[in-house]
Amino acid sequence: MNLKISFSPLWRKIASLNMTQKELQTVTGLGSSTLTNLRNDDCVTTDTILKLCIALQCELNEIIELTGDNDDKK
pLDDT computed for residue 72 by the predictor? 63
* Mean pLDDT for the chain overall: 93
Q: In whole angstroms, what is the distance from residue 47 CA to residue 53 CA?
A: 10
DSSP-assigned letter for residue 60: G
Residues 6+ apart with CB under 8 A from 7: 38, 39, 41, 63, 64
Domains of the chain and any CATH numbers: 2-69 (1.10.260.40)
Give kind and range of the element (H or E) at residue 44: none
In 1-74, which ranges are E strands? 2-6, 65-69
What percentage of the chain has pLDDT greater than the value 90? 86
pTM of this prediction?
0.86
**Interval 6-16 mean pLDDT:** 97
Query: Tell me: the pLDDT tens digits for 35-57?
Result: 999 999 999 999 999 999 999 99
**Interval 6-26 mean pLDDT:** 96
